[in-house]
Chain A
Amino acid sequence: MAVQRFDVHSLAVILPVVVLVTLGLTMAVLNLTYNSYHETKDNVEVKAWWDGDHADIYVKINSKKLLPATIKIKEYVEEKKVYQPSKHILCSLTVDSTDKPLLVTGAVTSKNFEVEVLTPQKNLVFKVRLR
């Protein structure tokens, strides 16, 4: 069996990539785990987390009585000190099944926003603050 010779040059090329990528992956996983929001109110579950340059939002309706639900996302505008509907969404967001949660990616570029869930029974507001 041939013995592979230890090559310091290969190591010098490979090691920095391994270190950097491991560091990046660890930071990404830690950020996604700890810099996240999770709340359940009246059978409506909302999760949100920060993914580099945007927030990803997950909405799940656990009761058929609350269907169909319309989702509205409002971002905080620092200059005006008000919440305004996200401009990054051009169509209406609806959830019409308890099996199919809604995942919105890249629709919010602010870390301070509100997710409004409008159902036939009641309207719920989730205030999200990410770090």
Chain B
Amino acid sequence: MKNRIPRRRVGGKRKLTYLRKVKHFLWIIGPGIIAGAAGNDAGSIGSLASSGALYGCSILWALLLSLIFSYFIQDMCVRIGIVSGKGLVEHARERYGFKVGFIFLLAFLAVNFATIVAEIAGMAASLELLAWVAGFYVPYTVLAPILTVCVWIFLLKEGYGPIERVFSIVSLTMFVYVAVAFMVKPSPEEVFYGSFWITRKLTFDYLVYVSAIIGATISPYMQFYLVSAIIDKKVRVKDILSERIGSALGITISGIQAFAIVIVAAYVLFPRGIAVETARDVALALVPFLGFSAFTLFSVGFFASSLNGTGVIISSSGYSFSEFFGVERGLSKRVREAFTFYLMFTVCFMIGYGALIFGVTPIQAMVYSMVISFILSPMVVYLILRVSNDREIMGEHVNSPIIKLVGWIIFVVLLFLDAILLADMVTAYIWQP
């Protein structure tokens, strides 16, 4: 008996230490996984499904390319957050002064404003679908303002934490697309060629969707959020490897999901000539395999993704704006004390809902918010590169020469695609009859 007691104690301690280590590891890798998994928000899902429905597997190369880009960019953001302990907007102001820093802030807010339109539209559209499945009818145009107010009040009262904890998990129901992607029995050759070859002519319409996919995957607002989340968690430098693993895992998760969405749309909607015009059409791709329950699964996941995205965008806008001007921020402060913070919080909601009132449709919001994200992404990538290449800031965690080279290649490719898209936009505008 005497011998058994200490053994149990030792075993218990060992188990506890092991559990603690696992828990600590999960806590460390959390932001990366969330940034990746929740990266497929309403805008991303809408853009991916629309692209697959219009261009089939021939658009997969853009997705693969953007996932590779995303891996390197997010890895740099992880290191910036842990090593420097400062947000990207703060770095921009310190590095380039107030004026240039302000331009970076405006670019960041522009992406956020465009994306919030998609998120609010996504929430309302998915709830309309969910109510319809449950046998109730609540029009989308009525749901949108009610949801805007409810989410605004909830975020003001409780902050983003509770939403992040619950809805990041719920949003994983969108993984139903992965199962369905196997059910559609895609041709391996078609997927392979689509992923590694550009088989279509780069027309303006095609480029819009290519840019929407790249914008959806890189999600500049997510990079800002990731850096802030790491700073908030006070992740230590010794945990940098775990955090980088978390980030890579997150991108892998979101990448698998994104590939599945495009493949399902490519094999179900594309052959039938169904363009994604409403949020319901995104779910429609699942119907031949899952029947009516597809609408329930989709709307639950889509609502969670949209709500998650709303929380990230609203919080990061409020915090970054106040951080830039060095004023009081945080939901624990009174409105009078942190007026700028609360004002930006509210402005974000107003722009999001205001655009919907004045005729922007949910799918338009989803695709074009990602195009705006893409157009502004070289600017964000440039800032990330300059900071992560700076040995004074990053110390031993500065980008290695190979990563530096890869980083600049990413920047040049993004800039090149941006230039083609913008040139095509101008040409289309000038030559429009």
Contact = CB atoms under 8 A, between A and B. Distances in A.
Contacts of B288: 90
Counting chain A CB atoms within 10 Å of each CB, which of B141, B287, B350 scores highest? B141
A41 B273 CA distance: 33
Counting chain B CB atoms within 10 Å of each CB, which of A9, A29, A53, A56 scores highest? A53
A108 to B, nearest CB: 9
Contacts of A103: 132, 137
B361 A27 contact: no
A24 B357 contact: yes
Nearest to B156: A13
B350 A32 contact: no
Interface in A58-100: 87-88, 90-91
B192 to A, nearest CB: 28
Contacts of A56: 137, 139
Interface in B274-316: 274, 277-281, 284, 287-288
A51 interface: yes
Contact of B350 (A9, A12, A20, A49): A20
A25 interface: yes
B280 A88 contact: yes
A62 to B, nearest CB: 19
Nearest to B153: A17
B145 A24 contact: yes
Given A9-B339, A31-B141, A106 B278 contact: yes
Contact of B335 (A7, A31, A32): A7
A28 interface: yes
B343 A12 contact: yes
Bin the interface of chain A by size.
20 to 34
A106 B141 contact: no
Contacts of A88: 274, 277-278, 280-281, 284
A23 interface: yes
B367 interface: no
A10 B148 CA distance: 18
Nearest to B341: A13
Nearest to B343: A13
Nearest to A100: B135
A105 B274 contact: no
B38 interface: no
A53 B343 contact: no
B142 A28 contact: yes
Contacts of B346: 13, 16-17
Interface string A31-50: 11000000000000000010
B280 A20 contact: no
A21 B353 contact: yes
Given A10-B335, A17-B349, A28-B141, A105 B357 contact: no
Interface of A: 7, 9-10, 12-13, 16-17, 20-21, 23-25, 27-29, 31-32, 49, 51-54, 56, 87-88, 90-91, 103, 105-107, 109
26 contacts: A9-B342, A10-B335, A12-B343, A13-B335, A13-B342, A13-B343, A13-B345, A17-B148, A17-B349, A20-B350, A23-B357, A24-B141, A25-B145, A28-B142, A32-B139, A32-B141, A32-B142, A49-B139, A51-B141, A52-B361, A53-B364, A54-B280, A56-B137, A88-B278, A90-B287, A106-B280
Instruction: Please give me the 10 A-B residue pairs with the lowest Cβ-Cβ distance, nearest first.
Output: A106-B280, A53-B361, A28-B141, A24-B145, A109-B277, A21-B145, A106-B278, A51-B139, A9-B336, A10-B335
